[in-house]
Chains A and B, each alone.
Chain A
Amino acid sequence: MSHQTLMAILILSPLVGFLINGFRYKKHSAELSGSIATGAAVISFIAALLMVIDLIGLPPEERKIIVHFFDWIAVDRLKISAGFTIDQISAIMVLVVTGVGSLIHLFSIGYMHHDKGVAKYFAYLNLFLFNMLLLVLGDNLLVMFVGWEGVGLCSYLLIGFWFTDKEKAAAGMKAFVTNRIGDAAFLLGMFVLFLTFGTLNFQEINHMVPTTSELTWLAPITLATLFLFIGATGKSAQIPLYVWLPDAMAGPTPVSALIHAATMVTAGVYMIIRLNPLFLAAPNTMAIIAGIGGLTAVMAASIGMTQWDIKKVLAYSTVSQLGYMFLACGVGAFGAALFHLMTHAFFKALMFLGSGSVIHAMHEEQDIRKMGGLRKYLPYTHLTFLIGWLAIIGVPPFAGFFSKDEILWQAFHSPRGHWALWAMGALGAVMTAFYMTRLMALTFWGKSRVPKETHPHESPWIMLLPLIVLAILSAVGGWVGIPHVISEILPGQPGNLLETWLEPVIKSVPGVAEGDPTQEWSLMGVSVTLAVISALLAYHFYVRDPSKPKKVAESLGKFYELVYNKYFVDEAYFGWIINPLVSLSKGIWYYIDVNFIDKTTYVVADLVRGGGQFVRGVQNGNIQQYAMYIGLGVVATMTYVLMR
């Protein structure tokens, strides 16, 4: 098959699935709807796999498959084609999206079994996949933007899937609007780029980027990258636009796994990696990205330590892990960011699906205070969750260890890095180990606090299968990016496969020095040790001595309150931005529209009417008076004529 056909199948298969399920939106059969949707996703995955195999067959420098379908917009110099590219970066991403996506579709068949709107659900899920593929594969910024907004839309639909609940509908809207703020900035970024380079095509832009870095803040590339980064903070839930993601947990759990953990939220990171030469040319932007990333990683992790909702904990964990990815981008370690994106997709999807399995077992209960000791009821779920836990807290040789370690090392070592960034990353890692262990302990270990009327049961195989596959990936997925220092001591010296693969498309930071192996080893040792200590501490707190956490929380007092209430960011946004805006709008409507403009026109109308009344008085139907006017007129005329 030609690449054009393959690409068409890859992209359109989910769209076809969406249309089929969309037209049978009233049907209730989860098996049938789910099979159609899963089939569509799997077909996409196979097509992607075939393309990537072809890609591997090409020599490293020419690994690029470009397919052009039609000209989308052609106005003046703006020529946007509906074109798609698979290269080293999008290859990884497309496999993750379709692969993890297929697994989550499969899981959904079990999870959504009893839901009435199941056909609608799968239609949305397919639509999401379609848009995500546009985002990943688009060969210019505008096609990416189509997917970018499209996934936001699907996210809106899926968060508000149970729309009869007002809270859930509101969460969907919050997600869309917050994303829209980012999207507006994204648009501005595109404008700056277009006016600077005259194109929006990724290859062309990356080619044209000057080799010298910009040092001022308002230079075009810095400005463009800043705008694009604001766009990324919206989509990828970074400070200050992260607030939507925790609320997005209102959606069905598989959706949280697919959209709000594995794929959509990583779009911002992906976009930055796509344009890495451009971002490298703007050191100021990079510094901001690294700072925001580090800050988000720490802040979200700290909130995660206090939450009681199993999905909220995972949501804040996602925000925090995304912070890591931005930290990596900010220090110029784009490869590490992509690596972490991939491993995170595996273990976070695993954990979300695991939590889905738990929630399913607990009959829609999400509060971890009402769980505990679930290990014996849900053995498989516990086992897979355990692997996810090991991966996220960075225990070697699980996937998270390699990618997180790479980021921390780069944060310290890269010329754009700083010890403070490393410290933030390490602090985040320590907190991650704590809250994840806490989650494990409260959910699966210790004494059971399950209410008597609930009888937890293990999920059916259709839900366990994806868990097992993802658990395997979380365990071994990191082995494609083994750092050189470790690779050297391993038998056969496998080397860093990922780095070699990405080498032609990812520019390295100028002036990067050869790493000092001792330093790298010791940093690795420090972060792993700290994480393990933190995990043990959490284990002690929540399994051995369950009364301790309360005491600690009380001793922290106000500070604990602050963190528990998520630093009151939502309240601040509502109090300082949204409510004043609504009042302002009501004000301008009432005072300007109704009272000023309309009243002014009424005044004008009254003046005209008054003038008419006055003139009307002259014409009163009294002939004698008319005659007098005639007489006066004659006199006046005569006077004028005679006196002239």
Chain B
Amino acid sequence: MPSSDLFLEVGLSHYLVLSAILFVAGMAGVLLRRNAIVILMSVELMLNAVNLSFVAFSHYMGQMDGQIMVFFVMTIAAAEVSVGLAILVSIFKRYKEVNIRFFEHLKG
């Protein structure tokens, strides 16, 4: 019975699995990629994965809190991207480089 449900009907676990996949993909991008812009995009991906799970929970539990939280996350994501891109642009202007391995002045 549950096995047939899994394929016939789209339920909470499908959303959560998708969200997890997106989150891990985003995280892998953050940890492994060198290009700062890609890293920023990956951060966006992770945030959206979280958004997805918020919305899914909200829908299945019948509460609006999760969807409200998504607005907060989206606003913050927008702010973060704009600040992050601004920093990146100014760094690029100065060093002509977006590879983060290049910026290792703090390395001991």
Q: Do B108 and A627 have beta carbons less than 8 Å apart?
A: no
A631 located at the interface, meaning its Cβ lies under 8 Å from any Cβ of chain B in the complex = yes
Question: By the criterion CB–CB under 8 Å, are A620 and B100 in contact?
Answer: no
Contact A628 B106 (CB under 8 A): no
Contacts of A627 in B (CB 8 A): 30-31
Write out the residue numbers on chain B whose beta carbons fall within 8 Å of the beta carbon of A164: none
A547 at the interface (CB under 8 A from B): no
- Residue contact A624 to B100, C-beta cutoff 8 Å: yes
Query: In whole Å, how far is A630's beta carbon from the nearest beta carbon of chain B?
Result: 10
A616–B106 alpha-carbon span in the complex (Å):
14
Is B32 a contact partner of A624 (Cβ separation < 8 A)?
yes
CB–CB B104/A622 < 8 A: yes
Measured in the bound complex, the distance between the Cα atoms of B107 and A623 in whole Å is 10
Those of A585-644 within 8 Å (CB) of chain B? 616, 619-624, 627-628, 631
Within 8 A of A (CB), among B26-40: 27, 30-32
CB-CB nearest in chain B for A630: B31
Q: Which residues of A lie under 8 Å from residue B27 when comparing CB positions?
A: 631
Specify the chain B residue showing the minimal Cβ separation from A619: B108
**Residue of A with least CB distance to B32:** A624
Distance in angstroms between the alpha carbons of A627 and B39 in the assembled complex: 12
B104 CB contacts on chain A under 8 angstroms: 621-622
* Min C-beta distance of B21 to chain A, whole Å: 16
- B104 (CB) vs chain A CBs: closest residue: A621
B12 to chain A, nearest CB (A): 19
Which secondary structure characterizes the binding site on chain B?
helix
A628 lies within 8 A of B31 (CB): yes
Interface residues of B in 56-108 (CB under 8 A from A): 100-101, 104, 106-108
Contact of B107 among A621, A628, A631 (CB under 8 A): A621
Q: Count residues on chain B whose CB falls below 8 Å from chain A CBs.
A: 10
Q: In the complex, how many angstroms separate the beta carbon of A471 from the nearest chain B beta carbon?
A: 95
CB distance from A344 to the nearest CB of B (A): 86
Inter-chain contact A620/B108, CB cutoff 8 Å: yes
A619 to B107, CA, bound (A): 8
Q: How far is the CB of B24 from chain A (nearest CB, A)?
A: 10
Q: Which of B31, B32, B101 has the most CB of A within 10 A?
A: B31
Closest chain B CB from A523 CB (angstroms): 99
Contact A616 B108 (CB under 8 A): yes
- Tell me which residues across on chain A come within 8 A of B107, comparing CB atoms: 620-622
Chain A residues, CB < 8 A from B100: 623-624
Min CB distance B3 to A, Å, is 24
- Name the A residues within 8 Å of B30 (CB-CB): 624, 627
Residue in A616, A619, A622 with the greatest tally of chain B CB atoms within 10 Å: A622
CA distance A622 to B104 in the complex (A): 7
Bound CA span A365–B107, Å:
85
Q: Please, which residues of chain B bring their CB within 8 A of the CB of A621?
A: 104, 106-108
In the complex, how many angstroms separate the beta carbon of A637 from the nearest chain B beta carbon?
16
Residue of B nearest to A632 (CB): B31
> Which of A619, A620, A624, A627: most chain B Cβ within 10 A?
A624
Q: B31 near A624 (CB under 8 angstroms)?
A: yes
Residue of B with least CB distance to A620? B107
A207-261: which residues lie under 8 A (CB-CB) from chain B? none
- Name the B residues within 8 Å of A624 (CB-CB): 30-32, 100
Given the complex of chains A and B, what is the CA–CA distance between A622 and B27 in angstroms? Answer: 16
* List of B residues within 8 angstroms of A622 by Cβ: 101, 104, 107
Rounded to whole Å, the gap between the CB of A232 and the closest CB of chain B is 74
Q: Mask for A119-145, Cβ within 8 A of B = 1, else 0?
A: 000000000000000000000000000
Do B106 and A631 touch (CB < 8 A)?
Answer: no
A628 to B104 alpha-carbon distance, docked (Å): 17
User: A620 to chain B: which residues have CB within 8 Å?
Assistant: 107-108
Note all chain A residues with C-beta closer than 8 A to B32. 624
Chain A residues near B101: list those with CB within 8 A.
622
Q: Which residues of A contact B31 (CB under 8 A)?
A: 624, 627-628, 631
Per the bound structure, the CA–CA distance linking A232 and B71 in Å amounts to 107
**Binary per-residue interface labels of chain B (16-30) against chain A in the complex, 1 for a CB within 8 Å, 0 otherwise:** 000000000001001
Bound Cα distance from A631 to B108, whole angstroms: 22
Name the B residues within 8 Å of A623 (CB-CB).
100
Task: Write the nearest CB–CB distance from A522 to chain B, whole angstroms.
Answer: 104
The chain A residue with its CB closest to the CB of B106 is A621
Further contacts, 7 of them, CB under 8 A, given A622-B107, A623-B100, A628-B31 = A620-B107, A621-B107, A621-B108, A622-B101, A624-B30, A624-B100, A631-B27
- Give 11 pairs: A residue, B residue, CB < 8 Å, sorted on A: A619-B108, A620-B107, A621-B104, A621-B107, A621-B108, A622-B107, A623-B100, A624-B31, A627-B30, A627-B31, A628-B31
Per CB-CB distance, the 9 closest pairs between chain A and chain B, nearest first, are A621-B107, A621-B106, A628-B31, A624-B31, A621-B104, A627-B31, A620-B107, A621-B108, A627-B30
The chain B residues found within 8 Å of chain A, CB to CB, are 27, 30-32, 100-101, 104, 106-108
